[in-house]
Amino acid sequence: MDDQQTDDELETGTSTETDTTDTAPAENGATDPATATTRSKHPRTGTIALLGYCIESIEAAQRLGYDFVVVVPPGYQETLENDGIRALTWNFELINEKSHELAQNLGALDVRLAVPLYEETVEWAGALNARFFDDPRIFNRAWLFRDKAMMKRKAQMSGIRVGVFEEVDSRAGVRRFFERVNRAQGVLDDEKPHAIHMKPTSAAGSVGHRMIRALSDLDEVPDTDFPCMVESHLDGQEFSCEVFVHKGKIRFLNINEYIHLGHSQLLPPTPKLEALRPKIRAAVEELIAAFGIRYGVLHPEYFLDERGELNFGEVANRIPGGHIFELIQRAYGFDPFAAQIICSDPETTEDELREFFPDEVTGVKGHAGNLLVYPRKDWVTELAIPAELEAEPYFLKHSLFEPVHQKVASREGYGNHYGKIDFLGDDADRLRSVLLRFEEVDYYV
């Protein structure tokens, strides 16, 4: 995610936007839960399809006792089948006259439900579930998640606060929007203009996002960035929610506080933001009603302005980036990958949901945070972990690696980071200070 971006998305640089969740001893009285969960005692019928490659979701489906098939991009099927996992190969980026074959292939396997694991599978899950449940509106709703301009328009039509936005197909369109925004803001010729944002309408999270601070920035925009959406800049504290929904009701609401978008975050949030949980819940319920959401996981992002008002950024319908699910598991002790599956399944019972989720406030085992580390130089030679980090009581572990190549690759959205540093503690304000302090360290020299 970026200054304005909503992605999503703190991107991890992988298709699934997840990493392997391992465990480590907890410190400071906060518990880091084991990832293993017992096999579900609840009966399952039929077969479900997991769309995308995510190890944690596959393992969760196994523990939950589902009969499932994994639909993966080219290159993954053989590995999965060697591990005894049923898989099909499908190119989610290609839509043509043969696209209906996926539904036929899954129908032959008695599949009754499709679960999207990452951005490019959301509309496919919508199309499949529309067939499985004989409800074409499911597909229409899925498209709202994949087209940012349509998403904003639907929110605006439903009375949800959003920034000013437009769809444009040229630099001239961006220039006109930039000038109109600054005229409306009353910016004088000798004053710094208000920035706007350019975003692809269908890319995941922050991928392809550009911030236009001056008209000269348009010189660097390639023709391939059009058409796109442009929008005004929203000031304030940005945060995301990870919302597990079943039968249109919120079953668990996580609030993830971005400290610096794309770099640092923590959950549950610091007390100031946590105090707004009832207001945030009401805003999410409004979003669920507006978009007609019945099942699955939502990942909306909001901006909290100086007056305490919430402005909607955007929303995704898949596993969030930035290793947020890993943080949730560490902070609350339940498996969010399993939670996505059972909340996507209409057959999940109320008893199972009550047993699965802890209380959002009293069920906290600790505050979890991470830093997504990216080199600050164009060329690096080695990894340098400071002794101060290892001595920090809230430090848990890191996944930083020695650079394979000296030339640092360009960053795509907020992906391609060189690993992360995990923290865990019992004081959210202190954790925030720790994250800010270690965010200033240059870990690659």
Look at residue 27 and tell me whether its pLDDT is greater than 90: no
pLDDT greater than 60 at residue 14: no
Q: What is the pLDDT of residues 140-174, one digit of tens each?
A: 999 999 998 999 999 999 999 999 999 999 999 99
Residue type, 15: S
25 compared with 288, residue with greater pLDDT: 288
For 170, other C-beta atoms within 10 Å of its C-beta total: 12
Is the pLDDT at 48 greater than 90? The verdict is: yes
Which of the listed ranges 5-9, 21-25, 269-273 does the model predict with the highest average pLDDT? 269-273
Q: Taking 60 as the threshold, does the pLDDT of residue 131 lie above it? A: yes
Of 5, 9, 63, 11, which is closest to residue 34 (Cα–Cα)?
63
pLDDT digits (tens, 9 = 90+) for 220-253: 888 888 899 999 999 899 999 999 999 999 999 9
Architecture of domain 164-232 in this structure? 2-Layer Sandwich (3.30)
Over the stretch 311-334, which tens digit does the pLDDT of each residue have? 999 999 999 999 999 999 999 999
Please state the rounded mean pLDDT for residues 31-47.
63
Span 435-444, mean pLDDT?
95
Parse the chain into domains and list their residue ranges. 164-232
| pLDDT confidence of residue 69 | 98
What CA–CA distance (Å, rounded) separates 435 from 284?
27
d(CA 179, CA 151): 24
- pLDDT > 90: percent of the chain: 76
- pLDDT reported for residue 225: 87
Out of 182-186, 277-281, 327-331, 411-415, which region has the weakest mean confidence (pLDDT)? Answer: 411-415
Write the single-letter amino acid at 129. Answer: N
- Residue 415, pLDDT > 60, answer no
Residue labelled with tokens 């933001």: 273
> Are the C-beta atoms of residues 127 and 139 closer than 8 Å to each other?
yes
Q: Which two tokens stand for residue 363?
A: 């069920």
User: SS3 for 369-402, per residue?
Assistant: EEEECCCCCCECCCECCCHHHHHCCCEEEECCCC
Query: According to the model, what pLDDT value does residue 311 have?
Result: 96
pLDDT number for residue 199: 87
Q: pLDDT band at 200, cuts 50/70/90? A: confident
- Residue bearing tokens 């946590």: 274
Closest CA to 437 of 384, 392, 381, 375: 392
pLDDT at 34 over 80: no
- Kindly tell me if the per-residue pLDDT of 196 is higher than 50: yes
Burial of 192 (0-12, 13-18, 19+ CB in 10 A): exposed
